[in-house]
């Protein structure tokens, strides 16, 4: 089984708030891989909007994203693109 871990920086102005978390959940659920987001010793499923918001990921904070499964590489690429695109927010 493929497992990939990467540190990603939250660059959008509002951080991992409700709308950004919802975008990440929509993306994560389109893959079969198990996707976790970790920050400050907490680990939550990328399928949980509430869990992601509880990480309190603000601008310029780093999170570790862990993708595990057959499509882990594609999932990580898509998640990196979402972070780079500032969760598709107009700033």
Catalytic residues: 17
In 10-61, DSSP assigns E strands to 34-39, 42-45
Phi-psi region of 67 (alpha: psi -120 to 50; beta: other; left: phi over 0): beta
Task: Copy the structure tokens of residue 11.
Answer: 């660059």
The sign one gets for the Cα dihedral 24, 91, 64, 55 is negative
């Amino acid at each position: 089984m493929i497992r990939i871990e990467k540190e990603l920086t939250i660059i959008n102005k509002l951080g991992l708030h409700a709308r950004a978390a919802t975008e990440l959940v929509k993306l994560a659920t389109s893959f079969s891989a198990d996707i976790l987001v970790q920050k400050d010793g907490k680990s939550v499923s990328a399928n949980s909007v509430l869990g992601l918001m509880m990480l309190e990921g603000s601008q310029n904070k780093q999170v570790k994203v862990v993708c595990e499964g057959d499509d882990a590489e594609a999932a990580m690429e898509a998640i990196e693109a979402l972070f780079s695109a500032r969760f598709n927010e107009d700033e």
